[in-house]
Amino acid sequence: MNTNPSKISDEILKQRKTEALHRFNEIARQLQQIIGTESLDTYTTIRWIQNPIELTGPRFGANETSTNNQLTLELSEELLTERRNLLNAVLWREAYLLHIPKIVRSVKEASDLGLYCYSRYALRTKKQRHWFLQIWEITSPPIEYTFYRYFPTAGFPFFDKLVDGTFLQKTKLWFKPFFQLSTKMTTQTYAENLERWMFNYHRILRPIELKILKGINNCLTCSQIELADKLNIRQPTISQVIKRLAEKHLLRFVIFENYPILGLQPITVKFSTSNMRIKNSLTQIISRIRYALAIQEFNNQLLASFLIPTERMTRFRQWLKQVSSSYGLSSPELRMISERMHARNFNLYDPQKDGWSLEIESIFDNFSRLISEEWIPHLPPINFYKLASSHSKKSIEIKQQDFFFMQRASDAYLATEHMKFFESHELRQAGYKESEHMAYRRRVKYLEKNEVISPPLGLGLLNIGLNTALYLYLESSIEETRLIFTACQLFPHVAGRIFDDGAGVATLLVPSESAVYLQISLNELLTALEIPAVTAIRPAWEAYGWTGPYTIDSVNYDFGKNMWIWTKDTLPLPRT
């Protein structure tokens, strides 16, 4: 029950202030033991003010001021009266923020690190965490940037599992180079640095993990017993390794959504311009569209991918003409995406050498022979997943939880034939009771049966040292595009989409130190073979984001009318 501040005497208020300051010092000492080092800054004064708390902003109940290089922390007296249940969270948050440079903690979203610190180390029960998560989600909702999302309430715990509970310690190290800087940091710069660091984190696979991953990758339909027989490893060991990799979010399965079944048409639009200002403007406009998926840049060409509701295609084509006319561009080329593919190759990974060992000359020698001498049959077959036709929408009712299913389906949370591990924690976070978990599995099978999602088509792993995206754009026949994409299995990772006219785009994830040499070698080879192709290099975190490719979201769907939301503001026009 909240206490009316008017009924609290000055003596009680003074006593609570003293207790709060004592508690702050205790937390600061405790944090130094957790983090392992002292804080970068200290507050010389803590002052209590009468400003009310606003729960709509991340740094509720506190304000940092600086005079003559001395830091003063201002705390609202409301934390001692009506909001006493938030006092501990604020003290933990402020104690942690002193461990990151001032230029970083001046970004209001940086306080999310302190809020996660409180959630991670101070809360002990599920009830406490659930209560605080509700408050945290209000104070720090997701922020959408160009094809990636800053989502701390989901992202921080996700990554903390990957790094064995050392996320906050690593964050302090990441931001330490900013200690001497005085230039103001923007929210986007802060979010981009976090996203890049998280994606670039390299977790070395153990030999036993690599062996099991190879086995699953070569036989997606094998049961654990069959894997044990093939790999000569005990089944309980396989089960334990799979569970560990899934808990750390390292192991996931690639499952494609069959967008046309849902009433969405996957398309790619090619804009041609060498004007950098126009490119930047187009990127900004496209990133504001709810149905935009990604942008890839190749010299003077900009490829933008979209998922457009089938009944809105005419309006979308009109918008393309308007945008092109505004910039004085020729009409953009529009291609329908007809097939998708994905493949992994773990043969180039060596745990003894801390990661990928690419012998580039050998790779391209074999790549050339595969294409020119028709050695493709010697490679493992690839399933080119054919999407349904543009008017194949099925009359099945889409439910709110289906979007959760589709997003989680590729995260190794399915009870597939070879993957019996099922992480109930994720379902509990999404609000599902233990009794509803079997219903979850049945619904996923229902979506698969109705071809809304594909069965597992491959393994997808992040955070294993593939930090650069090498894009390959082909304008060729469908047979030649499939041939080259199949040969791309020689690389550690390839994901591709093929258009209805045979052209295609492949994304090859490669180690950063090999990216430029790989690009040069690939260009030389394709030129020698007279295959029309263009390549480009981008940081992988921009291509995929830390949590995987951006996908469809329930925010675009009206469940009452069972149709996709479309307003006059869905397609923004350039300012003239």
Are 356 and 437 found together in one domain? no
Asked if 557 and 398 count as a contact pair (C-beta separation under 8 A), the reply is yes
User: The pTM is what?
Assistant: 0.85
Are 192 and 219 found together in one domain? no
pLDDT, tens digit, 9 for 90 and up, residues 263-282? 999 999 999 999 999 998 99
pLDDT for residue 394 = 76
Compute the distance between CA of residue 80 and CA of residue 73 in angstroms, rounded to an integer: 15
The two three-digit tokens of residue 451, written as one number: 């071809």
Cite the DSSP H helix spans in 146-275: 152-162, 167-175, 187-200, 207-218, 224-231, 235-247
The verdict on residue 258 lying in a domain is no
Closest by alpha carbon to 297, among 321, 278, 313?
278
pLDDT for residue 166 = 94
Asked if 101 and 46 count as a contact pair (C-beta separation under 8 A), the reply is no
The two three-digit tokens of residue 340, written as one number: 């998708």
Are 88 and 229 found together in one domain? no
The verdict on residue 488 lying in a domain is yes
Closest by alpha carbon to 58, among 129, 125, 142, 130?
142
Are 235 and 346 found together in one domain? no
pLDDT over 70, % of the chain: 90
Are 404 and 482 found together in one domain? no
Are 27 and 50 found together in one domain? yes
Residue 434 confidence (pLDDT) above 80: no
Question: Which parts of 263-405 are beta strand (E)?
Answer: 264-272, 292-298, 301-309, 333-344, 349-350, 355-356, 385-386
pLDDT for residue 412 = 44
* Mean pLDDT score, 487-496: 92
pLDDT band at residue 419 under the 50/70/90 scheme? very low
Residue 417 confidence (pLDDT) above 50: no
Phi first, then psi, for residue 331 (nearest 5°) are: -60, 130
Closest by alpha carbon to 508, among 500, 499, 498, 519?
519
The verdict on residue 517 lying in a domain is yes
Asked if 150 and 141 count as a contact pair (C-beta separation under 8 A), the reply is no
SS3 readout for 366-404: HHHHHHHCCCHHHCCCCCCEECCCCCCCCCCCCCHHHHH
pLDDT band at residue 435 under the 50/70/90 scheme? low
pLDDT for residue 206 = 92
The verdict on residue 564 lying in a domain is no
The verdict on residue 302 lying in a domain is no
Are 20 and 38 found together in one domain? yes
Q: Which residue has the higher pLDDT, 383 or 337?
A: 337
Phi first, then psi, for residue 76 (nearest 5°) are: -75, 135
Task: Write the CATH number for 537.
Answer: 3.30.70
Residues facing 301 on adjacent strands: 272, 298
Residues facing 335 on adjacent strands: 268
pLDDT for residue 287 = 82
Lowest-pLDDT range of 12-21, 43-52, 58-67, 426-435: 426-435
Residue 548 confidence (pLDDT) above 50: no
Residues facing 333 on adjacent strands: 270
pLDDT band at residue 351 under the 50/70/90 scheme? confident
Are 119 and 241 found together in one domain? no
Buried b (16+ CB within 10 A) or exposed e, 50-61: eeebeeeebbbb
Residue 424 confidence (pLDDT) above 70: no
The verdict on residue 573 lying in a domain is no
pLDDT, tens digit, 9 for 90 and up, residues 286-333? 888 888 888 888 888 999 999 999 999 999 999 999 999 999 999 999
pLDDT, tens digit, 9 for 90 and up, residues 221-257? 788 888 899 999 998 898 888 878 877 777 777 888 8
Are 416 and 381 found together in one domain? no
The verdict on residue 294 lying in a domain is no
Average pLDDT score, the chain: 85
pLDDT band at residue 551 under the 50/70/90 scheme? low
pLDDT, tens digit, 9 for 90 and up, residues 525-546? 999 988 899 999 998 887 765 4
* Mean pLDDT score, 42-65: 87
pLDDT band at residue 422 under the 50/70/90 scheme? very low
Q: Rounded to 10 degrees, what is the CA torsion of 203, 207, 212, 215?
A: 110
pLDDT band at residue 7 under the 50/70/90 scheme? low
Compute the distance between CA of residue 503 and CA of residue 339 in angstroms, rounded to an integer: 11
SS3 317: helix
Its domain, for residue 212, covers: 207-248
* Mean pLDDT score, 411-428: 43
pLDDT for residue 392 = 78
Task: Write the CATH number for 218.
Answer: 1.10.10
* Mean pLDDT score, 143-163: 83
Residue 414 confidence (pLDDT) above 50: no
Are 109 and 241 found together in one domain? no
* Mean pLDDT score, 114-128: 94
The verdict on residue 308 lying in a domain is no
Domains identified in the chain, total number = 4
Phi first, then psi, for residue 561 (nearest 5°) are: -95, -5
Measured CA distances, 12 to 45, 47, 76, 114, 523 (Å) = 21, 17, 16, 28, 75
Highest mean pLDDT among 289-293, 316-320, 404-408, 559-563 belongs to: 316-320
How does DSSP classify residue 424?
H
Measured CA distances, 534 to 297, 328, 473, 543, 551 (Å) = 10, 24, 5, 17, 26
In single-letter form, the type of residue at position 551 comes to: T
Residue 97 confidence (pLDDT) above 70: yes
- Report helix angle 224-231 to 235-247, nearest 10: 110
Are 442 and 417 found together in one domain? yes
Compute the distance between CA of residue 343 and CA of residue 385 in angstroms, rounded to an integer: 12
Residue 413 confidence (pLDDT) above 70: no
Say which residues have a Cβ less than 8 Å from residue 268's Cβ, sequence separation at least 6.
303, 304, 305, 306, 334, 335, 337, 497, 499, 505
Strand order in the sheet with 43-49: 43-49, 70-76, 62-67
How does DSSP classify residue 546?
T
pLDDT, tens digit, 9 for 90 and up, residues 133-152? 999 998 998 887 766 778 89
Compute the distance between CA of residue 103 and CA of residue 46 in angstroms, rounded to an integer: 20
Are 151 and 214 found together in one domain? no
Domain end point (choices 187, 217, 248): 248
* Mean pLDDT score, 432-448: 70
* Mean pLDDT score, 447-458: 84
Compute the distance between CA of residue 422 and CA of residue 427 in angstroms, rounded to an integer: 10
Domain end point (choices 173, 199, 225): 199
Say which residues have a Cβ less than 8 Å from residue 131's Cβ, sequence separation at least 6.
none
How, if at all, do strands 43-49 and 70-76 pair? Answer: parallel
pLDDT for residue 423 = 46
pLDDT band at residue 436 under the 50/70/90 scheme? low
The two three-digit tokens of residue 399, written as one number: 């439910």
Residue 371 confidence (pLDDT) above 90: no
